[in-house]
Amino acid sequence: MKQGQTSFGCFKKRKKSERMETNGIEKKKNGMEIDPDLQFLLKGGQLVKIRSASWKKKRYFRLQEDCRTMWQESMKTFKTNQTFALDDVSEVRMGRHSEALRKYTEEQEEGCCFSIMFKGRQKTLDLIASSTEEAKQWVNSLDKIISNINNLDSQQKTKHWIFSCLKKADRNNDDKLSLPEVKNFLNMINMDLDSCYAEMLFKKCDTSKSGFLDGEEIKHFYELLTDREEIDVIYAAYAKTSGYMSPENLVDYLLKEQIQKATLADAHKIIETYEPDENAKEKKLLSKDGFLMYLQNPSTMILNPEHKDVYQDMSQPLNHYFISSSHNTYLMEDQLKGPSSTEAYIRALLRGCRCVEMDCWDGSDGEPVIYHAYTLTSKILFKDVIRTIKEYAFKTSDYPVILSLENHCSLDQQEVMAHHLSSILGSALVTSPLGKGMPTRFPSPQELKRKFLLKGKRLSKLQQPEADDTNVTEEEESNDENEHRGEEKKKRKKKIQLAKKLSAMVIYCVSVQFHSFEDSRKNQSFNEMASFKERKATNLAEDSVNFFIRHNVEKLSRIYPSGSRTNSSNYNPVPFWNAGCQIVALNFQTACTGMDVNQGRFMVNGKSGYILKPAYMRDVATEFDPITLARGQWLKHKVFHVMIISGQQLSKNESSIADPLVKVEVYGVPADVAEKETSHIENNGFNPAWNESFQLDVYVPDLALVRFVVEDYDYVTDNDFIGQYTLPFNSLKMGYRHVPLFNQDGDPLPSARLFVHIMVFDAE
């Protein structure tokens, strides 16, 4: 296929056998030649779909001709056949590894089972093939095509998305588009053109005067729609060599506009990598298409590529890092009746979470269970959770995972818990101090790579031998009922029974009650840590923030949501990070601004789940106060200029046209918190242009995060969320940059992005 030619140029009317050639082009565009795996999926086959012990039904599955959508035949009369997009698949898992397959299939069926896991909240698809070989064929084939789809660049993804919409708009499958079909297509791509303008565009492309668009006419129509005027302007300013960019022109652009170091060797490498026209490449020139491909590459977007991998010092003590942390990790939904699931642990761990919570209670048959007690939430086996954690703990990050144990079990079942932890996790579980002698500080994430730390109660201090004749320790607890009512807190003592084997496994994260910062300084060992309910932590972060920061220089602190958040809502984690708190636990199952900000905080440093705190938050004598902001090394006043230029594919859904606007939000110390908003663009989520500029002041850039939010404007009700992207302020790249967008669940929106211009200056 020649450069610039798309599959839309192949829309001429032809025989069925000839149309398969177009599909072949699409398969090649997916990065795949016709191979046995692709042919297998296109042909499809019958599988058994599992939902419960009594619901096991045969369904026919096959890949549709767009090579991006799986089709499932329904056996029900009048029921529409179902499809799902391969873009939405997070993993294809071989074996009986989902809860449904473990519950509703037999052990001997292990080799025939596989599961298709989805991003977001779509239910897992559990399937059984007729043989182990067939199951492997399905898993391997799906893995291959999904991998190829994920490796497409932004331009290819856009073309595929538009091609898919064009195919849907062609309702009678004649490979031609009538004016009503064109209007339907425009609606699909989230563009509500004035009817007269749509007709004018249609007539302009209908050079054959047939009343239909086909072949090259559709290609021309596509090119008019996807023209990027803003890119044309930038390119024209630097394309000084016969209408192309020479290496010298490109270096000039990178130095002046992108504010980055560049040499002629760098320019030659860019041309060699991104220029699609072989003639231009041979002449060492960069065309406009090559320039756009370069701008849309992930390495040139708004996130500093040097911050994508682990770039921070990982040899500091564990408590010198912010740690990505989850609350009630076992829950998929709310705190009262939502399901508990091992899948919730998988999702959290795959998102880089490094501290997971387990509420453990006595179960039947002597097996401890995890669930939210005194509610209607379902129960899962403790041993299944530990097996799941072992399997998925280090797929995203190699750095240590903290198992936060809320232990409500009897001594007998605590012994069972200790057995499962030891037998399943083996030597990966830290059960004695690292190094020689008694430790006086935490080991580093580097030293703890691929290790598990247990957080829980302990019968004695680490440096003291455990008594042989007791399983009992004592703790002070608050009366939560009175606390919720705002009355003065009443304290009472209660006896806690601990199994010695379980107690002995708690080394670096010993749970203790917090009384005061002075008491902690005098009586608390470095490895003893307190958990703070959000209201208590908020008070400390507002009234005693410098004491809180100093406390966290030596100790670990965990913050968790109030019990009144029965819908699993989240607080804003930023004030607690500002106070130096490391384990700021959020409900990972809930899509919200707090989770967006958390994802942004931990997006960098290799998504390791560990972010090194600034030096002034690691100094026991620090004077840093994020509220008063007295002079100190933390004050690095920056002026942040941002221009929101345009957007691409900002679709909310296919049934409504967006009126998009963009918000630029800054999170950080109180002086840095700010928000700016563009006007809204009516009826165009496909390629809106704003060209609006803002200026913001950032005083403590080390702690600041920037969030770009796209919303669908509504003058009657609240705006609808379309997409967002959050990243640390210090990870911004300057110049002309694309901003990828994530959906509410934190998954990438394949083709949606913003185009912005960023400048950061030292304030005078």
Q: How far is it, in rounded angstroms, from Cα 530 to Cα 502? A: 19
Q: Which helix (H) or strand (E) holds 504?
A: helix 500-504
Number of domains in the chain: 4
pLDDT at residue 13, as a whole number: 31
Residue 158 to residue 651: CA distance in whole angstroms: 12
Q: CB of 582 within 8 A of CB of 324? A: no
Q: Tokens 């994802």 label which residue?
A: 599
Asked if 145 and 269 sit in the same domain, the reply is: no
Q: Which domain holds residue 385?
A: 318-478+490-603
Q: For residues 459 and 567, state if they share a domain.
A: yes
pLDDT, tens digit, 9 for 90 and up, residues 492-521: 566 778 999 999 999 999 999 999 999 999
From 101, 122, 150, the end of a domain falls on 150
The annotation places the binding site at: 49-76, 328, 357, 359, 406, 455, 457, 531, 558, 657, 659, 683, 712-714
pLDDT at 452: 98
For residue 194, is it within any domain?
Answer: no
213 within domain boundaries: no
Would you give the DSSP letter of residue 300? G
Please give the Cα distance from 187 to 176 (Å, whole number).
17
Binding site, annotated residues for Ca(2+): 328, 357, 359, 406, 657, 659, 683, 712-714
Rounded to the nearest 10 degrees, the angle between the axes of helix 154-169 and helix 216-225 is 120
Residue 33 three-state SS: coil
Compare 13 and 189 and report the one with higher pLDDT: 189
Q: Is residue 207 part of a domain?
A: no
Average pLDDT of span 604-631: 96
Type of residue found at 472: V
pLDDT in tens, 7-65: 333 333 333 333 333 333 344 445 455 678 889 999 999 999 999 888 999 999 999 87
- Indicate which residues carry an active-site annotation: 327, 372
Which range (15-24, 52-61, 534-543, 568-577) has the least confidence? 15-24
In the chain, what percentage of residues exceed pLDDT 70?
Answer: 88
pLDDT, tens digit, 9 for 90 and up, residues 147-187: 888 777 666 666 666 677 777 777 777 778 888 888 888 77
Residue 509, Cα to own-chain centre: how many angstroms?
27
Q: Which residue has the tokens 């954690």?
A: 389
Of the chain, the end-to-end C-alpha distance in Å amounts to 55
Q: Which residue has the tokens 């994020």?
A: 626
Pair 671, 722: CB distance under 8 Å: no
Q: What distance in Å separates the CA atoms of residue 638 and residue 700, rounded to the nearest whole number? A: 8
pLDDT for 28 equals: 46
Residues 597 and 717 in one domain: no
Q: Which of 187-191, 261-265, 333-337, 377-381 has the lowest mean pLDDT?
A: 187-191
What per-residue confidence (pLDDT) applies to 9?
A: 32
Q: Are 588 and 350 in contact (CB under 8 A)?
A: no
664, burial (CB in 10 Å: exposed 0-12, middle 13-18, buried 19+): buried
Separation between Cα atoms, residue 732 and residue 721, nearest integer Å: 23
Residue 423's CATH number: 3.20.20.190
DSSP labels, 563-616: TT-TT-----SHHHHHTT-SEEEE-TTS-SHHHHHHHHHTSSGGG-SEEEPPGG
**Bind-site residues for substrate:** 49-76, 455, 457, 531, 558
CATH of residue 258's domain is 1.10.238.10
Q: Are residues 747 and 678 in the same domain?
A: yes
Q: What is the pTM of this model?
A: 0.85
| Residue 531 near residue 558, CB atoms below 8 Å | yes
Is 650 found in the same domain as 583?
A: no
The answer, yes or no, to whether residue 218 has pLDDT greater than 90, is no
Which is more confident, 312 or 39? 312
Instruction: Assign 489 a pLDDT band (cuts: 50, 70, 90).
Output: very low
281 and 324 in a single domain? The answer is: no
The reply to whether 334 and 442 lie within a common domain is yes
| 258/236 Cα distance (integer angstroms) | 16
For range 626-655, the mean pLDDT: 89
Residue 193 confidence (pLDDT):
63
Tell whether 309 is covered by a domain.
Answer: no
For residue 180, is it within any domain? no
The pair of three-digit structure tokens given for residue 202, joined into one six-digit string: 């249609």
